[in-house]
Structure 1
Amino acid sequence: MEKVKEITVRLVKVVLSRIFIVGVILALQVGWMILFLVKLSEYSAMISALFNIISALAVLYIINKQDNPAYKLAWVVPILLFPLLGGLLYASMGNKQPSRRLRAKLDAEYNKMNPSLEQSAEVLEELEKSNKQVALQSRYIHKVTNFPIYKNTTAKYYKSGEDNYPDMLQELRKAKHYIFLEYFIIDEGKMWDQILEILVEKVKQGVEVRLIYDDFGCLRTLPYPYYQKMERLGIKCFAFNPYIPIFSVVMNHRDHRKILVIDGHTAFTGGINLADEYINHIERFGYWKDAGIMLKGEAVWNFTVMFLQMWNAMRPTDEDISVFKPHIHFDEVFESDGYVQPYGDTPLDQEVVGENVYLNLINGATRYIYMYTPYLIIDNEMMTALCLAAKKGVDVRIVTPGIPDKKYVFWLTQSYYSQLVQNGVKIYEYQPGFIHAKCFVCDDEVATVGTINMDYRSLYLHFECGVFLYQSNVVKQVKEDAMEVFSVSKRITEKDCHRRLPMRLIQAILRLFAPLM
């Protein structure tokens, strides 16, 4: 009897959840659209012909766009297969660009704040003398994102969420002036409850606390409207791009960043969201392997500006952002640990910064390059770069999850193994559980730690961030972590890549639509 009651309570909770309601509304929209078009085309051959013409024009438009060929193919095929629906479907959700309203707001803030991001000529000159190739990578990042590279910054790497969490709490307790948080997922539980308790206490002490959370990322985890609860507690808050159940690509553009800035001189980022699985307080897919990084010093300014650009675009507040600079609330001299360059990526432009940073690292590697990614859904450019590096004799290793969070994404990830393994790339599946970290380390010299997955959503649709490091202690720490991960991971062989026909067919279909997932 108790079992039945428990199942009933869970079922009612699911049915009444926001994500279930959103799913039902979207399904009804799609069903109604298909039924309407079918009935309309049956009524009139002229109308049916009109829909076919719309689909043909959509195909011509897609082919002539300056876009990733895989993304084009993922749309052209369904349009040709279903001309009645395909053209209108593309018109409603095929454009990858954010809404004009969102773009206008963010562009205005970027233009306003970019002058505050000044590259030190002295630092860049030192970097060019030390390593010309690294300097070129840094120049690229600065040119397309405006975020400069710094010295006078220390970095600490965390190989798990539970290692990262105590330092997060400790630094939050030290806050005296302001705390900025920007996260894709927040979930009520031990991790968030303890952080929230500190935030509320800090508000009472006069500390300004601002919070941005992604509405879609928190669709399953936070009640609606959660931002109102935060405001009642004294925390200034908004939900990014509130998710409305409309069949539109506008809902695709999510804020996937994880940023915590404290008093302008301390920042955290990485793959770690504010939910209990990220600190392994609860178990979802075996052991949750993640990574994070803490910065102290001048480079924190990049993250502060990144946050303020998003904040002021949605909620205009600050006329003068110089009051948030690193030295305003830090009188001592910052220590230096190599070169540090936090950077952001945005779907507002045609520049795939995250992917290009990864490609530059792969193409420039001479001895080894090791990578963590929860999802391996790559385009032809990335596939070519990885295979070419391996053929040149570079030790290329990629770690993916041993226990997936989404089965169909895992099957899609595995569909890329065969070509990579045949060309000498070493693929490892992390056996203890799910690896959510997004890290690269190369040749004992450079590393990146951030939020950017190796999939189309992270590389093309989301707002993301990362940290590029050279001659930092973090480089050694990421490599040591990678060696530990390899030792508990299964190396994939060509034999492992051989699948039965039904699975190969499923993977082939998934590959076709990969850019849309």
Structure 2
Amino acid sequence: MKSTPSGFQSRFRLVINLVLILLQLTVIGIMILGFSDDAIIAYWLFEVIAVLVVLNIVYRRKSAAYKMSWIIFVLVFPAIGVILYFIWGRQHVSKKVKARWLAINKNTYAKLAQNKQVFAAIEDSGIKKEVDLINRLSGLPIWENTQTRYLKLGEEMHRANLEAIETAEKFIFLEYFIVTGGKMYDELMTALFKKAAAGVEVRIMVDEMGSISTLPKDFYETCAKHKIRSIPFNPLSASLFRFISYRDHRKMTIVDGHVAISGGINIGDEYINEKRRFGHWKDMAVRLEGDAVLSFTVMFLSMWEYSTGEVSNLENYRGTKKYPQTKGLVMPFCDGPNNLKNPAENTYMNIFANAKEYVYITTPYLILDTDLTNCILLAARSGVDVRIITPGIPDKKLVYATTRAFYGDLLAEGVRVYEYSPGFIHGKVLITDDQVAIIGSINMDYRSLTWNYECGTWIYGSQTVFDVKADLLAVIEASREICYYDWEKISFAKKIGQAVLRIVAPLM
């Protein structure tokens, strides 16, 4: 059985960390045995460097949990900790990359100013503030005249993809983290080949690390043969830090500027339950049709330009249809390491801070920083019904154990935690107060909220919100609730292990 790509990424980092730690211990052992003046000087030199690095960590704008993890690691293993911190502890974006993104934004995001009339028409002051916040953080506007349809399974998303592709007349854009050969892949590619042969422009962007062990070997050659333009995002390069850390975790299909489909679903047979690996695979997406699709088009063209240097004229990829007024508003947004405003995490924290009745979330990985944890706990303490749904069957045991390590604090304050008994829940969905739903690619973990390029669709006041709620209540009904009493029964040794996992979580 092939390893999951994200699992490969975690194991790759873990192996490097362990090798360097062993090297550190070996060096310290030699120094102790030698106990020479030179060895003592070298040891204190390591310590001075480690203290300077710790001061740098404290100075950075990061969460307390993230800083604490690195501080402990650097002080315990000074020489190797310093090296690892500079490899992938700093979220450093060079001036050259910043300037490049600024130039790209002028061609894309800067052309999508906030829709002032739509914004002014929002009557709920809380929602208005939320929309303004997301716009300020992500640079993308609020839209009306957009129909949304909730897709509660990968099978539904796959059918929606094929149906949308069948209607394509001008262009099809696809951007995915994982692409794996199989039935889903074959059916998708057959549909794309047909459209490319008919003269439709087809572009595909695949994350290099995400698909490193799954992408068919002849993928790029096959695409070129069928007149499909395909590129790897952030391929292996001399910058190991960038290759390992900055991944394109988005999932989206865009057709003619009229239809966009996005969520947590990659291209692979497990996502449509054609292959059972971890029980029933529960995943979610949303289909958009109307004005808001332009925001997804902007996301795609920005990433394409960043990867290739090719500038696309946004005007050539706007939808041309006029859509009637629809109930509800839609606001696609995105996040990434180049945006230090942290749109995803700050949007979630704002929702918890302003929730009145309930917040329900599904996430495959629950690895929280201090700020987000405090927001969740504050909501629960104020009487908000907070429920979090995680997998019942894990895809990665180490990450699953780390997820469970965060249960104790949440359960103690009244947060209700459920594990999806039928299998693995991979969807990334949030709903609050019968008003707002978010469906996207964003996991509730450090990697999604700090390092990855992600996207989500914020939806307000439409039937889709109630469809999401109905689905999550059905998922809760099929899940096993974890009670604080259950967590208390965990052995002392296991709780110590969980504490260690929480400390090292930001390093995974």
The two structures have a TM-score, normalised by structure 2, of 0.92
SS class of match (2:172): strand
1:508 aligns with 2:503: no
1:161 to 154, 160, 171: 154
1:436 aligns with 2:426: yes
User: After superposition, where does 1:25-36 map in structure 2 within 5 Å?
Assistant: 30=20, 34=24
Distance 1:184 1:430, change over 3 A: same
In the TM superposition, what is the alpha-carbon distance from 1:289 to its structure 2 partner? 0.5
2:45 to 47, 50, 53: 50
Distance 1:39 1:177, change over 3 A: farther
Q: Which stretch shows the higher mean deviation, 107-116 or 461-470? A: 107-116
1:419 aligns with 2:409: yes
In the TM superposition, what is the alpha-carbon distance from 1:280 to its structure 2 partner? 0.6
Corresponding residue of 2:449: 459
**Distance in 1 of aligned mates of 2:214 and 2:98:** 27
Corresponding residue of 2:198: 205
Corresponding residue of 2:461: 471
**Distance in 1 of aligned mates of 2:14 and 2:380:** 46
Distance 1:244 1:140, change over 3 A: same
Q: Which stretch shows the higher mean deviation, 361-370 or 39-48? A: 39-48
User: After superposition, where does 1:254-403 map in structure 2 within 5 Å?
Assistant: 254-327=247-320, 330=321, 332-403=322-393
SS class of match (1:326): coil
Where do 5+ consecutive residues of structure 1 fail to align? 1-9
In the TM superposition, what is the alpha-carbon distance from 1:502 to its structure 2 partner? 2.4
**Distance in 1 of aligned mates of 2:245 and 2:482:** 33
Asked whether the 8 Å contact 1:441–1:448 carries over to 2, the reply is: yes
**Distance in 1 of aligned mates of 2:415 and 2:299:** 35
Corresponding residue of 1:79: 74
**Distance in 2 of aligned mates of 1:89 and 1:311:** 30
In the TM superposition, what is the alpha-carbon distance from 1:107 to its structure 2 partner? 3.1
Distance 1:138 1:28, change over 3 A: closer
**Distance in 1 of aligned mates of 2:150 and 2:317:** 24
Any idea what the Cα deviations from partners look like across 1:45-88, whole Å, max 9, x if unmatched?
A: 34444333221211111112222111111111011111232222
2:132 alignment partner AA: R
Any idea what the Cα deviations from partners look like across 1:307-347, whole Å, max 9, x if unmatched?
A: 000001221333521111122xx3x4345231000001111
2:165 alignment partner AA: L
Corresponding residue of 1:179: 172
**Distance in 1 of aligned mates of 2:138 and 2:462:** 22
**Distance in 1 of aligned mates of 2:179 and 2:50:** 40
Asked whether the 8 Å contact 1:155–1:294 carries over to 2, the reply is: yes
Aligned length: 499
SS class of match (1:248): helix
2:106 to 105, 111, 123: 111
Corresponding residue of 2:184: 191
**Distance in 2 of aligned mates of 1:190 and 1:182:** 19
Distance 1:228 1:484, change over 3 A: same
2:58 to 50, 54, 63: 63
SS class of match (1:513): helix
Any idea what the Cα deviations from partners look like across 1:84-111, whole Å, max 9, x if unmatched?
A: 3222222232212345554443332123
Asked whether the 8 Å contact 2:402–2:502 carries over to 1, the reply is: yes
Corresponding residue of 2:396: 406
2:351 alignment partner AA: L
The two structures have a TM-score, normalised by structure 1, of 0.90
1:398 alignment partner AA: I
Where do 5+ consecutive residues of structure 2 fail to align? none
**Distance in 2 of aligned mates of 1:252 and 1:286:** 29
Calculate percent identity across the aligned residue pairs: 37
**Distance in 2 of aligned mates of 1:515 and 1:28:** 15
**Distance in 1 of aligned mates of 2:377 and 2:10:** 42
In the TM superposition, what is the alpha-carbon distance from 1:27 to its structure 2 partner? 7.9
Corresponding residue of 1:4: none
SS class of match (1:295): strand
1:511 alignment partner AA: R
